Chains A and B, each alone.
Chain A
């Protein structure tokens, strides 16, 4: 009996510990008849119940669009990275020469503790941005698009000027894409002379280096900071968290609170896609951002009453990248031959039937953005449509020979296309298995090698260990970011403070192994890394010209064969709420909290 009592006591202690562990407060947010919006945060798998309400902490319980606010929300427009929806900022004005941006804050916005949101909050948040790393708030001397001065014009207006020694077209984006936190909660984390330190850090001498080190250390302090009770200027404020979910209740001080329909939001925890599928099949989620879903699961999700699948543009594509340091991939004819041999439509249908569109050609740009950037010129590029005869002609031009139905290297040795992908990337692995079958059917020996996980994949790829591997490209909307993926550091070009240098294949992370200059028909010899770097600073017209040149280089030289362009497939359940954005709406590229804060989502009558 005593033993039984001991066991019961043990279990009691454990239960008590579990009961008392959860939650930051002990108030309940859900009253009778209240409308609770249920979703997941696509950027935060694995909610940590002990995480602070800190937007800079990777495991923090600040959720973008709900209780974490930015100055404005980037639209990720097809070609213009500087389009935004309002956030903490009501409006903004960029100087005609792009030398400054003047930001006006929402006039009636207050923090959840009742204090007004002021320009001082923004100034402190911009100082924090320097500690965390940001395009506009970079500390490296000469960094492109860096801010030079931050001035509080009045209580609701802030002006940020750009260092025009190396300007960037994305300066405004860099500034507006900044998280804003309350100065009265966060000011104690930064030293009083933070702006002096920032100024010193932008120099080139030893003192500047010391200041940069000091600011980087401050960055760690910011990430680890626990501000205690959540103070939010967003539509919601954190109520409590447990390992299953985070509960946020409506912030009555939010400037647009009158149009925020859900009384509370619960963000469910997940650690893998399977859990999201289960939530969707059970009809639990009012909305969910993009999650890769196999075809049979998608059919089950669609059967759930109220579930609706919507699709929009997603500025990313995936391609089969070659290591040109390795033979025979140094020969452009081999790369072209493989481009002709692989039926991309079939690959996409197998690997990403709901989440992708087969690449119409290889430009390095997502096909939707390519249509905007290149216009009619897109049709003049080689589409590399599936054509076995053309593939064989290219292989022959590369000196490959076919013996007993199998292609061999010019020296007669066997050739095997070795493709790599990290474990868990099911769509990539399915795609490579399909490519393997297609290649083997056409006499090219092939294999798929799975790497244990993503960090190892990245390391081995950077070390040049793979012949070929899948690689994300076309990361829009900023044009520099798009081509930086194929003509950036992975392919030898380093851009430091606008100065571009090229590392030899196999050196300093150049695993793609392109030559520094490439001969392209109609363009002559071009240095694509330099062209890419220019995208940062030139005007819109010149950008368009550069994008066309780079697309032609990527199309002719094929450092990557573009496989499919991702589609932003999202899920909504219309049973409890209405007003969701439909197909192709640019709000599909926003955190769903932005839909709510803009007043779109309404309770179903």
Chain B
């Protein structure tokens, strides 16, 4: 237990140091992106019909939401705010706290990406075992080819394809947003139904795009395990096929759990293209908008959230391994 706590403390310390470094780097990168949002806003207002003098004043008001002072002063303010978990206020949504904007966008990213990841993991792992066990047969070939194909197709191509088939040609699934506005929100079958209906294509796209990786990784892992002595011993002892199969799966899945844990950290990185294509208002769409508007606080907050989640997931993956793999645990205990 002491070893575990010591390991955890080390991870947390390293994680905090990494977050500090990432926050610093992202602060300076974000604020050095070329392009003046004020000029762009002025141009937008004037070309939408506003008088130039009025546009200048309107821009001055909007400009008030941008951080002021020298870069160093802004950095000190930013890091001070970070300690209080205050990421500043958004310019795109003037005056709104960045933490609130991120929280709102996060749920629309986490929900489909989590569902897509779990779905693809489940199907990919099962199919991966079959692909490995039946690797000399037609089924194994088909599964392996499908995995390679889907692994190679970019997310946005899949999204466009599924959107065209189910959203436009067959017109059976919506491709616009999260729910039908005409349905009253609440815990009703109707409303939950519309949420699921709208999430189907984003989830399906994400699941199909990640499925290839899982099936290939699982197949490779199973093939490695199949060559282990304990499998041969089990077969020689005349164990039932289903029990041997369980032995194989349990041992082969260990490395995939690590990948799964790291994938969880990427939940917040989301799927920019999928959200853009299906107009799904998650972090990806928010990030595009914040870059276009040079919303420094929002951009910085989003980058921090994504990197922070990845760091936490990596720590969790490392700790998880000690829990699920007795060999690692006993090794640590012996060392302690």
Are A and B part of the same complex?
Answer: yes
Q: Which chain B residue has the least Cβ–Cβ distance from A484?
A: B52
Whether A15 touches B46, Cβ cut-off 8 Å, given contacts A170-B51, A247-B181, is no
Q: Is there contact, CB below 8 Å, between A50 and B96?
A: yes
Give the CA-CA distance A365 to B55 in the complex, in Å: 21
Instruction: Give chain A residues whose Cβ lies under 8 Å from the Cβ of B61.
Output: 131-133, 216, 219-220, 223
Q: Is there contact, CB below 8 Å, between A240 and B110?
A: no
The size of the chain A interface, using a CB distance under 8 A, is 86
Q: Is there contact, CB below 8 Å, between B49 and A475?
A: yes
Q: Is B294 an interface residue (CB 8 A)?
A: yes
Q: Is B234 an interface residue (CB 8 A)?
A: no
Scan A252-286; emit 1 where CB is below 8 A from any B CB, else 0: 00000000000000101111101100110110000
Whether A455 touches B36, Cβ cut-off 8 Å, given contacts A247-B181, A275-B279, is yes
Interface residue ranges of B27-54 to A (CB < 8 Å): 34-37, 39-40, 43-44, 46-49, 51-54
Q: Is there contact, CB below 8 Å, between B177 and A266?
A: no
Q: Is there contact, CB below 8 Å, between A138 and B93?
A: no
Scan A441-459; emit 1 where CB is below 8 A from any B CB, else 0: 0000000000011111111
**Per a CB cutoff under 8 Å, which of B36, B57, B192, B198 touches A458?**
B36
Q: Is B74 an interface residue (CB 8 A)?
A: no
Q: Is B78 an interface residue (CB 8 A)?
A: no
Which of the listed residues A18, A46, A274, A455 has the most CB atoms from chain B within 10 Å of its own CB?
Answer: A455
Q: Is A17 an interface residue (CB 8 A)?
A: yes
Q: Which of B100-108, B126-134, B204-212 faces chain A?
A: B100-108
A395 to chain B, nearest CB (A): 32
Whether A26 touches B168, Cβ cut-off 8 Å, given contacts A244-B178, A278-B175, is no
Scan A473-511; emit 1 where CB is below 8 A from any B CB, else 0: 001001001001000110000000000000000000000
Scan A14-36; emit 1 where CB is below 8 A from any B CB, else 0: 11111111110011111000001
Q: Which chain B residue has the least Cβ–Cβ distance from A20?
A: B185
Q: Is B158 an interface residue (CB 8 A)?
A: no
Give the CA-CA distance A246 to B92 in the complex, in Å: 19
**Per a CB cutoff under 8 Å, which of B35, B175, B183, B279 touches A456?**
B35
Give the CA-CA distance A135 to B52 in the complex, in Å: 8
B254 to chain A, nearest CB (A): 15
Interface residue ranges of A213-247 to B (CB < 8 Å): 216-217, 219-220, 223-224, 240-247
Q: For the complex, would chain A's binding face be called helix, strand, loop or mixed by DSSP majority? A: mixed
Q: Is there contact, CB below 8 Å, between A455 and B178?
A: no
Q: Which chain B residue has the least Cβ–Cβ distance from A247?
A: B181
Q: Is there contact, CB below 8 Å, between A245 and B181?
A: yes
B113 to chain A, nearest CB (A): 11
Whether A481 touches B39, Cβ cut-off 8 Å, given contacts A22-B179, A240-B185, is no
Whether A281 touches B168, Cβ cut-off 8 Å, given contacts A216-B60, A244-B177, is yes
B205 to chain A, nearest CB (A): 16
Q: Which chain A residue has the least Cβ–Cβ distance from B175?
A: A278
Q: Is there contact, CB below 8 Å, between A244 and B35?
A: no
Scan A43-67; emit 1 where CB is below 8 A from any B CB, else 0: 1001011110000011100000000
Q: Is there contact, CB below 8 Å, between B100 and A242?
A: no
Q: Which chain B residue has the least Cβ–Cβ distance from A485?
A: B46
Instruction: Give chain B residues whose Cβ lies under 8 Å from the Cβ of A321.
Output: none
Give the CA-CA distance A270 to B182 in the complex, in Å: 17
Give the CA-CA distance A240 to B186 in the complex, in Å: 13
Give the CA-CA distance A19 to B59 in the complex, in Å: 37
Q: Is A139 an interface residue (CB 8 A)?
A: yes
Which of the listed residues B111, B118, B185 has the most CB atoms from chain A within 10 Å of its own CB?
Answer: B185
Q: Is B21 an interface residue (CB 8 A)?
A: no
Q: Which chain B residue has the least Cβ–Cβ distance from A462?
A: B39
Q: Is B184 an interface residue (CB 8 A)?
A: yes
**Per a CB cutoff under 8 Å, which of A59, A278, A475 touches B46?**
A475
Whether A133 touches B54, Cβ cut-off 8 Å, given contacts A15-B192, A18-B111, A43-B48, is yes
Interface residue ranges of B82-110 to A (CB < 8 Å): 92-96, 100-101, 104, 107-108, 110
Q: Is there contact, CB below 8 Å, between B181 and A266?
A: yes
**Per a CB cutoff under 8 Å, which of A174, A217, A266, A271 touches B51?**
A174
Interface residue ranges of B106-151 to A (CB < 8 Å): 107-108, 110-111, 114-115, 118
Q: Is there contact, CB below 8 Å, between B176 and A220?
A: no
Q: Is there contact, CB below 8 Å, between B181 and A134?
A: no
Q: Is there contact, CB below 8 Å, between B185 and A22?
A: yes
Give the CA-CA distance A25 to B52 in the complex, in Å: 39
Q: Is A143 an interface residue (CB 8 A)?
A: yes
Q: Is there contact, CB below 8 Å, between B64 and A138?
A: no
Instruction: Give chain B residues whose Cβ lies under 8 Å from the Cβ of A481.
Output: 46, 51-52
Q: Is B316 an interface residue (CB 8 A)?
A: no
Q: Is there contact, CB below 8 Å, between B178 and A242?
A: yes
Q: Is there contact, CB below 8 Å, between A51 and B93?
A: yes
Q: Is there contact, CB below 8 Å, between A240 and B181?
A: yes
Q: Is A316 an interface residue (CB 8 A)?
A: yes
Give the CA-CA distance A57 to B181 in the complex, in Å: 22
Q: Is A468 an interface residue (CB 8 A)?
A: no
Q: Is B330 an interface residue (CB 8 A)?
A: no
Give the CA-CA distance A275 to B44 in the complex, in Å: 21
Instruction: Give chain A residues whose Cβ lies under 8 Å from the Cβ of B288.
Output: 271
B334 to chain A, nearest CB (A): 28
Instruction: Give chain A residues whose Cβ lies under 8 Å from the Cβ of B306.
Output: none
Q: Is A299 an interface residue (CB 8 A)?
A: no
Instruction: Give chain A residues whose Cβ lies under 8 Å from the Cβ of B44.
Output: 454
Q: Is there contact, CB below 8 Å, between A135 and B51?
A: yes
Give the CA-CA distance A185 to B177 in the complex, in Å: 32
**Per a CB cutoff under 8 Å, which of A28, A240, A270 touches B279?**
A270
Q: Which chain A residue has the least Cβ–Cβ distance from B107?
A: A17
Instruction: Give chain B residues whose Cβ lies under 8 Å from the Cβ of A224.
Output: 94-96
Q: Is there contact, CB below 8 Å, between A217 and B64?
A: yes
Whether A15 touches B40, Cβ cut-off 8 Å, given contacts A242-B178, A278-B168, is no
Interface residue ranges of B53-78 to A (CB < 8 Å): 53-62, 64-65
Interface residue ranges of B1-46 to A (CB < 8 Å): 34-37, 39-40, 43-44, 46
Instruction: Give chain B residues whose Cβ lies under 8 Å from the Cβ of A244.
Output: 176-181, 198, 279
**Per a CB cutoff under 8 Å, which of B36, B95, B195, B279 touches A223?**
B95
Give the CA-CA distance A139 to B281 in the complex, in Å: 38
Q: Is B289 an interface residue (CB 8 A)?
A: yes
A427 to chain B, nearest CB (A): 14
Instruction: Give chain B residues whose Cβ lies under 8 Å from the Cβ of A381.
Output: none
Q: Is B292 an interface residue (CB 8 A)?
A: yes
Q: Is there contact, CB below 8 Å, between B185 and A454?
A: no
9 examples of A-B residue contacts, CB within 8 angstroms = A19-B185, A19-B195, A26-B186, A28-B184, A219-B61, A224-B95, A247-B182, A271-B288, A278-B168
* A contacts, CB < 8 Å to B: 7, 10-11, 14-23, 26-30, 36, 43, 46, 48-51, 57-59, 76, 131-135, 138-140, 143-144, 170, 174, 216-217, 219-220, 223-224, 240-247, 266, 268-272, 274-275, 278-279, 281-282, 315-316, 452-460, 462, 472, 475, 478, 481, 484, 488-489
A133-B60, A223-B95 known; 19 other A-B pairs, CB under 8 Å?
Answer: A14-B114, A15-B111, A28-B182, A28-B184, A43-B48, A50-B93, A50-B101, A133-B58, A240-B181, A242-B178, A246-B181, A266-B181, A268-B176, A269-B281, A275-B175, A453-B35, A454-B43, A460-B34, A488-B52
Q: Which 10 A-B pairs have the closest CB atoms?
A: A133-B57, A224-B95, A244-B177, A455-B35, A456-B35, A219-B61, A243-B281, A245-B181, A455-B40, A28-B184
